[in-house]
Structure 1
């Protein structure tokens, strides 16, 4: 099992293929006037036909699934889209063909594409590709998951000086690249500075960008966002690199003061303030920040600081963090400037010793992992988003169950070697369980399911009295879904299972999840980025058909070769989405499965007994035990806690708790 099974945790959003679900309203600050000043004259937006849920590039055959609306401008909308063949996500600018029917309109889009596709810089949004169909033109760009500086500004209102320096350095880096290539951006504003997952800034939206011309040849069009326009642009003297620098000064002022420098309630008054360079510098700003803003917002373009002069300004002598934490998108970050003493000794070391010594040759990653793995305790084969981890069993005690089968039970008191192994799990593999999506309070993760189940079972075992028999089971327990058959094909594809309502699911090795439901008439597909889609089986996108065939092969194998795991049947729940397998864990003696509805199921190999813990509709916990004869017994966990159970069931529950403990510790 080299490939392992990949967790698909933190399933934050559930989107069926219904266009009505995708109608978010983008939020804008006052500085984010859409499009050009020229376009902003109260033009009613033309009604646009709803974009299809799946669009296909006829040249390549690739299909893309539409996600949420990221924003909209004068004649385009930007959507999150996912390539169904690779799961790669893009920000896609969608321009209706009806809006580029005139030659000059199409020329504008062509120029934007031709210009952007030539750019390659770490602080410029990456251009991927484009195509068009009868309805739209689609421009595929790098997706920046943390949105833009406009969103950060809206949440924070003002930023600290170290943060402003952090962002300005990256903006200036990207802007110098453009200017050196003879390109003017002409629409610098907070909404066009995009932030990726790693908190790196990307300069984007080249809809108004143009080649730098001589003063005589410059176009005199007034374009850009009103609050950021330079005086010479309003005076129809044309755009130059100095005009972009002016906009940069307005950006700096907005981030530090909470609003654009020339913002008023009336557009004419705003233009008048810009032409007269009339604005207020709050006394709360540091003297260096005030001087820099004043040096940039000069009426005469030739008097303005250049980009190099800005970087050499005393304002940038202050501390600039190497990286900002993602939390800074919504709250003031806790930053730790290096002490003067540390900086002094660093400089001294460089002057005395010159180049850094070459680092000692490191042990290859695989060797280190093998060495760490050899210490681990409980025989677990854990499948997560990053890798599969094998644990060797180190002398577990084995308890004979009343059925005569050997049931492994990890000692309650760990030996020193086991304690060291437990610590090494924490050291080596901390965080491997996590998905790339931040947790949402409404969504369960594998760690949350394991932790909750461990807590309720541990509470039950701690409080339950000794007993020779189990309490009365529920005569008509509430129906719930559980795994009746499973097949481990993770050495090639993934882990397949059949639920008690006959639904079939496969958690693929790369983290996607596909389920066949409603007698295989409906397909539920979940991506590694936690988006959930529903298709009719007869209208499945071509890119998903191979995965569907694999699911069908596993389904046929289970149907022809495996027995039902018990006599506990399920009432049909057609309206509900199927529970998704978040993670599976194999030990020497059992298989553990964690589902996104909070259900935990443990199957013991040797005697085919099973333990299932789930929540009922009234939030009480149910525990179902399926015997080796495949007869099911469902108990209220509170009843077991009060009345106790047989030693056989107690041993199994103790073993499950130990497994979950290792899961949460890892």
Structure 2
């Protein structure tokens, strides 16, 4: 990792034009461009791309293949939607060419048979499978918040209550497997999937196997290097104790920020595992240290069972939240445990009066929003003509919402066809991890061969279409992260992962319920269910306009219906702010002197340096690599390289 010493600004006085709302300070995929459609005339709606339709040759059911969720050695996993019911799955697609040999096909069929037999709350649900001439398709439960690996990449270190929350669910699923004589053999963060309501599901049974007697166990070394048990490396076979070892490595990674035996050299990692050589940070609680030491023992029989782990003081004497907020995927949650008196009062109240029900209004509001999003998504996949005429919506009030009041504004309902145009993202959408990886690679190559120089080469002609964040507000302790682009478009990445933007002419609202689904509404036709988010968005816009100085906005221009790139993820350090966008752009704002670096393009990588006077100069990375650059620019590039390495985990 590049040391932070490459960039040593003076002690921090105040961040970028104090980009915070008044009050306390506190994740993937990209949206596609808007697609207009005229409702009311037959055949006006665009049909889905036939190349992205999957058809079951036996039942005739069709599925719309959406964004790429992940890929492995044999298969790729996509989001898939049943075009008749609108139900969303995760579909594992295995090309027939990858299972041409009999033993390869047998392995896939064994995985299907094993996974189909599993039914547990904390196991990814198997739905069905079929195949055609080109591929085998395995349809699984869709987990919208991806995996624990994505949360770890955004957070690196989790709180002990969070770790207990996740581990309890992992152990529940793992205990079910072991009771059925199944070994997972590949426990790691990427195989713990997270649903929309923050429930953990254990998945990926490609390496799973039936438990055999000690003398008949397979001696194959399989799994992820950082999580392999010593007996597996010593070819003594894999047993339930080996899964327990991997569980200990997972616990260590979540609490400490990296796996216990990770080194830069694989042979050295294996040596550390065999010798059980690792260190326990001093900031860990005594209970956490004791449990890790008990699990990570060289002799399998000396390790505690899953039941004994749950009875350890780490679990019995520590607070475990009943539910985690979705915002904990990217930011540290407030997990203050309830007081004993409050807990006692709650129990007594429930015993006397039963569970407190949600108000009908709150339940109806949530149901309406769910129905709205589902209907809009279905409309973009299975267009249907609507003969209903939209009712006239009331004009929005001109009074900007205050900090204390962001209640929904009044408005009459409109038919779905009139509320906005929608579009689906493409499977090539970039994730935050992909943005970091690609930029990291290009920047590393640029700096590795750059000769010393005293000044920068001639810049390119400035691009009027280059967008950057000119103002920002971190209010993630309550709402989310707000920002204004140089095009004057204002947007908010909410804590629940949704995204809403206000066009520069303030006539349209762009809404992304997920990173790959986009809806555009005229300002006067924003659905009632989205009025609260709109109120927060308008508050951010008003606050930045009134309290933050201009940050180099572009001249006013006519805005098309295509939305600006989405903010995928953001990170704050003591020295800078890192922003990752869905079009691959990476922006770093340096607090101390208000300079910025914007990396975009990739082929070639374009490097834009926004100086203190807001003057922006753009260079091609290959030119800097060949001719060198000024020390002022070089030190910032090295700092950004180190920042990307730190947050990508490489």
Structure 2 length-normalised TM: 0.52
Closer, same or farther in 2 for the Cα pair 1:598/1:176, shift >3 Å? same
Match of 1:203 in 2: 202
Closer, same or farther in 2 for the Cα pair 1:167/1:433, shift >3 Å? same
Aligned pairs for 1:125-204 (under 5 A) are 125-204=124-203
Match of 2:398 in 1: 455
Query: Shift of the alpha carbon at 1:84?
Result: 1.2
Query: Shift of the alpha carbon at 1:15?
Result: 6.8
Relative contact order higher in (CA < 8 Å, ≥ 6 apart)? 2
**Equivalent residue of 2:123, what SS?**
coil
Distance 1:12 1:150 in 2: 19
Match of 2:337 in 1: 337
The answer to whether residue 522 in structure 2 is matched with residue 598 in structure 1 is yes
Match of 2:252 in 1: 253
Residues 565-588 of structure 1 deviation map (CA, whole Å, 9 limit, x = unaligned): xxxxxxxxxxxxxx99999xxxxx
Where does the alignment leave 5 or more consecutive residues of structure 2 unmatched?
Answer: 1-28, 36-48, 376-391, 402-412, 427-506, 512-518, 527-555, 561-650
Show structure 1 runs of 4+ deviating over 6 A: 360-363, 431-434, 449-452, 579-583
Match of 1:13 in 2: 31
Closer, same or farther in 2 for the Cα pair 1:97/1:291, shift >3 Å? same
Distance 1:74 1:262 in 2: 24
Aligned pairs for 1:474-513 (under 5 A) are 495=415, 506=417
Aligned pairs for 1:505-524 (under 5 A) are 506=417
Say if 1:384 and 1:433, in contact at 8 Å, map to a contact too.
Answer: no
Distance 1:359 1:60 in 2: 46
Aligned length: 375
**Equivalent residue of 2:109, what SS?**
helix
Closer, same or farther in 2 for the Cα pair 1:319/1:436, shift >3 Å? farther
Residues 422-444 of structure 1 deviation map (CA, whole Å, 9 limit, x = unaligned): xxxxxxxxx7898589xxxxxxx
Aligned pairs for 1:277-426 (under 5 A) are 277-316=276-315, 317-343=317-343, 356-357=351-352, 359=354, 386=367
Distance 1:265 1:495 in 2: 58
**Equivalent residue of 1:309, what SS?**
helix
Residues 353-390 of structure 1 deviation map (CA, whole Å, 9 limit, x = unaligned): xx924649999x9xx77xx9xxxxxxxxxx98845xxx
Residues 495-536 of structure 1 deviation map (CA, whole Å, 9 limit, x = unaligned): 58xxxxxxxxx46xxx9x8x9xxxxxxxxxx5xxx6379xxx
Closer, same or farther in 2 for the Cα pair 1:342/1:357, shift >3 Å? closer
Say if 2:509 and 2:523, in contact at 8 Å, map to a contact too.
Answer: no
**RMSD value over aligned CA atoms?**
4.1
Distance 2:332 2:54 in 1: 41
Distance 2:156 2:267 in 1: 25
Say if 2:394 and 2:524, in contact at 8 Å, map to a contact too.
Answer: no
The answer to whether residue 421 in structure 2 is matched with residue 531 in structure 1 is no
Say if 1:325 and 1:333, in contact at 8 Å, map to a contact too.
Answer: yes
**Equivalent residue of 2:398, what SS?**
helix
**Equivalent residue of 2:267, what SS?**
helix
Name which one, 1 or 2, has greater alpha-carbon Rg: 1
Query: Shift of the alpha carbon at 1:343?
Result: 4.3
Distance 1:257 1:356 in 2: 40
Distance 2:355 2:294 in 1: 48
Query: Shift of the alpha carbon at 1:332?
Result: 0.5
Closer, same or farther in 2 for the Cα pair 1:56/1:360, shift >3 Å? closer
Structure 1 length-normalised TM: 0.51
Say if 1:190 and 1:251, in contact at 8 Å, map to a contact too.
Answer: yes
Say if 2:30 and 2:425, in contact at 8 Å, map to a contact too.
Answer: no
Say if 1:385 and 1:435, in contact at 8 Å, map to a contact too.
Answer: no
Closer, same or farther in 2 for the Cα pair 1:334/1:434, shift >3 Å? farther
Distance 2:356 2:286 in 1: 48
Match of 1:520 in 2: none
Query: Shift of the alpha carbon at 1:12?
Result: 8.2
Where does the alignment leave 5 or more consecutive residues of structure 1 unmatched?
Answer: 1-10, 18-49, 373-382, 388-430, 438-448, 459-489, 497-505, 516-525, 534-578, 584-594, 603-615, 621-666
Closer, same or farther in 2 for the Cα pair 1:434/1:256, shift >3 Å? farther
Say if 2:229 and 2:273, in contact at 8 Å, map to a contact too.
Answer: yes
